[in-house]
Amino acid sequence: MGRLYIAPQGADPDDPGAWTCLGETDDGGVRIEAGTFAPGDRIRHGPRTWYLAECQDCMPVLPQPFSDPGERTDWIVAHRRATGHRVTCREETR
């Protein structure tokens, strides 16, 4: 069982305090309150884990987000081979 959230247009979609729970998901079914969202709203399915890679030698240091740890590993290997740079990893759930 999960929950379906919406971040209204103009709200920060990365701020859970701005999210509105539209309902719970169960076997693919979703309960949505009528009139809750408008065009442009961004829908979220609860917290999500991001697998981040950060090159310590590229400036500015910017996290590269991946939804799959295998994709992150592939990117790290390719970046290190191409540049010789140092890359660190971390996970973040939002």
Q: How many domains does the chain have?
A: 2
The model's pTM:
0.53
Residue 30 or 38, more confident: 38
On whether the CB atoms of residues 55 and 86 are closer than 8 A, the answer is: yes
pLDDT at 6 over 70: no
* Digit-coded pLDDT (tens) for 33-70: 444 555 555 655 667 888 999 999 999 888 999 989 99
Q: Are residues 12 and 33 in the same domain?
A: yes
The alpha-helical segments, DSSP class H, found in 8-68 are none
What was the pLDDT predicted at 21?
67
In which order are the strands placed within the sheet that holds 29-30? 29-30, 20-26, 2-7, 42-44
User: pLDDT tier at 32 (50, 70, 90 boundaries)?
Assistant: very low
What was the pLDDT predicted at 43?
59
Q: Are residues 38 and 54 in the same domain?
A: no
Q: Are residues 38 and 58 in the same domain?
A: no
Q: Are residues 69 and 35 in the same domain?
A: no
